[in-house]
Amino acid sequence: MTDMSLVDDVHEHEHDHHSHDAPSRFGVVGPIMVVAPLFVALLARGRVGALDADALRLWSTLFVSITVQALPFLALGVVLSGLIAAFVSPELVERFVPKRPALAVPAAGVAGLALPGCECGSVPIAGRLMSAGTPPAAALTFLLAAPAINPVVLVSTAVAFPGDRMLVLARFLASFVTAVAVGWWWSRRGADNLIEVDGHRHDGPSRFLRFSDTASRDLVHAGGYLVVGAAAAATLQLVIPRSALDVVADNELLSILLFAALAVLLSICSEADAFVAAGLPQFSLTSRLVFLVVGPVIDLKLVAMQSGVFGRRFAMVFAPVTLVVATLSAVAFGQVFL
Amino acid sequence: MTRFARCVLLLAVGTIVVRITLDGHFNSFVQQRMRWPLLLAGIIVVGLAVVDLVIASRDDDETNQRPISPGVGWLLIAPVAVIISVAPDALGASAADRIDAYDPPAPIDPLAPILPETDPFPIKMLDFVNLAMWDETRALEGRQVDVEGIVVNDPEVADGFLLIRFVVSCCAADGIPIKVAVTGTPSAFEDDTWVRATIEWIPPDVPYQDENGPKFVEARLVDITEIDEPPGSPYESPF
């Protein structure tokens, strides 16, 4: 009898769905939205190539490359953010994070040394740190420091610039100072109300479910914005060919501004940007340092992800300030060391 | 996005990642050392999808109808759709055309290469160009080497073609082409053909570093064969 009623139940729902889209067991519309584009893509397979549109194929390669490259780092990031949601309580944060922002901010900067990832992974982590009660200024400092000063980034910079050891030091210091300066500025400004972080506590029945639900949610959330940023970056790489830059190579001020803009627009991973900068030897070291310091803290895909995770109003304030501070810091350290 | 929808989305993303990692297509997009991190990421994503599936099948209808993830996540289906429909290939002639050739940076210490005794010997395009430009002992002079790359027919190389190979440190978006002008024989191949070529370096009359120096490292063609697949990765790593 119980079985019968269950079967009836299912039938009823199927029927409902056909008539007026009432709740069905799984909700069919969502999955169809996933499967339909894939079906269209399958139909288009082979025909897109027939167009022989070089630009379209190149765009596709760049777009897919940026997302594929970011995915392992994003996965690592959401696993950590899931663990934070499952295991880090506000009480724990209170015990370990220094109360005074003057201390918490540089401590968060130093913590950035430990995460060997690109920028994409640190956005969800910073978001979860905030929901777990970390002062936003400290979480934001971590967000800026982690992709810029971790060991992998510093080693690849040293490999890309074998003759300029001081550049590695200058990059480290300029990035660290940028992260801490922006963090202090944020804590003094007290604009935490601009941040619309997802405060949703996933009170699953178990820690494991809290972990997996947070990880999935952050993956889908940050991943969606990553795709926006990757599409924009791939488009700009096509529109601004790297060979078209030589025009301003002789003017120091123009090169600095150009490289700050390029860092934002090209959105190259922090672990790879040193090689791109090394490939442009006609520019001064200082202007290329600007590229290396600005890129990891602000670029198109980061702005997209930050406005998704922390809210658009936040990004409108945070992004320009970060850009200016990073540029100035890089120029200052470039003058001293290079 | 409901839980079941998220499950299907994650399943699509995770499966395609595992698939391009196993069938080698990922080589067109990222460096080879990303193989294991990518595979692991794909498995994590599929695992998260399975957890969603289990929960969705246990929950009641009303709970399942509640949106639990932001709608922007749908965009994750875009790269999956592009991989399936366009099946993008590795960087080639059209990309090489847009980006200046790689200039190896000056070494800290003078180069002192120890090359194999017998000709021809295999060498990375990156090492070939680096030695040509910076080795003051001119160890490459008179030696024949085997390199693998793609043919680009460039009007700037009158009686030959450009042999190129991309250096990629992370993903194809940071790719920079190494270009060697192979002269002495008109090109018999179309753009983007993979070849294995035996070449001999032609030392420049004016140093490369000089303002009037040659634009490309030049080499004389000794032997050339077409190859099907790029050997291993289509890209060279700067590491």
Model pLDDT, residue B64: 72
Say whether A25 and B64 touch across the interface (CB within 8 A): yes
Q: For residue B8, name the pLDDT band (cuts at 50, 70, 90).
A: very high
- Domain ranges for chain A: 1-18+25-45, 54-337
Q: For residue A181, name the pLDDT band (cuts at 50, 70, 90).
A: very high
CA atoms of B86 and A42, how far apart (whole Å)? 9
Task: Count residue pairs from A and B with Cβ separation < 8 A.
Answer: 243
For B69, the closest of A54, A220, A241 (CB atoms) is A220
For B76, the closest of A55, A227, A233 (CB atoms) is A227
Which of A8, A64, A226 would best serve as a mutation to test chain B binding (most B beta carbons within 10 A)? A64
Model pLDDT, residue A41: 67
CA atoms of A221 and A239, how far apart (whole Å)? 28
Chain A contact for B44 (CB, 8 A cutoff): yes
Say whether A49 and B86 touch across the interface (CB within 8 A): yes
Model pLDDT, residue A203: 54
Q: Which helix (H) or strand (E) holds A153?
A: helix A151-160
ipTM of the complex: 0.92
Report chain B residues whose CB lies below 8 A from the CB of A31.
Answer: 4-5, 8
Q: Give the pLDDT confidence of B47-88 residue by residue, as tens digits.
A: 999 999 998 888 777 777 777 777 788 899 999 999 998 888
Report chain B residues whose CB lies below 8 A from the CB of A234.
Answer: 173
Q: Give the pLDDT confidence of B21-45 residue by residue, as tens digits.
A: 999 999 999 988 889 999 999 999 9
Model pLDDT, residue B89: 87
Lowest mean pLDDT among A270-279, A324-333, B211-220: A270-279
Say whether B80 and A31 touch across the interface (CB within 8 A): no
Residue A2 clears pLDDT 50, i.e. is over it: no
- Residue A232 in contact with residue A304, Cβ under 8 Å? yes
Chain B: closest CA distance from residue A184 (Å): 31
Q: Give the pLDDT confidence of B99-154 residue by residue, as tens digits.
A: 778 878 777 777 888 888 888 999 999 999 999 998 888 888 889 999 999 999 98
Say whether B169 and A160 touch across the interface (CB within 8 A): yes
Report chain B residues whose CB lies below 8 A from the CB of A120.
Answer: none
Say whether A64 and B83 touch across the interface (CB within 8 A): yes
Number of Cβ within 10 Å of residue A82's Cβ equals 26
Number of Cβ within 10 Å of residue A311's Cβ equals 16
Say whether A45 and B170 touch across the interface (CB within 8 A): no
Number of Cβ within 10 Å of residue A202's Cβ equals 19
Model pLDDT, residue A33: 66
- Residue B86 in contact with residue A57, Cβ under 8 Å? yes
- Residue A150 in contact with residue A116, Cβ under 8 Å? yes
For A159, the closest of B29, B51, B238 (CB atoms) is B238
Mean pLDDT of chain A: 79
For B238, the closest of A34, A67, A160 (CB atoms) is A160
Lowest mean pLDDT among A28-37, A94-103, A270-279: A28-37
Model pLDDT, residue A22: 40
Model pLDDT, residue A14: 38
Chain B: closest CA distance from residue A4 (Å): 18
> Which domains are present in chain B?
3-85 (no CATH), 93-236 (2.40.50)
Contacts 24+ apart (CB under 8 A), A170-173: A170/A289, A170/A330, A170/A333, A170/A334, A170/A336, A170/A337, A170/A338, A171/A289, A171/A292, A171/A293, A173/A333, A173/A337
Chain A contact for B83 (CB, 8 A cutoff): yes
Q: Is A188 exposed, middle or buried (0-12, 13-18, 19+ CB in 10 A)?
A: exposed
Chain A contact for B58 (CB, 8 A cutoff): no
Segment A122-149 shows an average pLDDT of: 89
Mode of pairing for the β-strands spanning B160-167 and B235-236: parallel
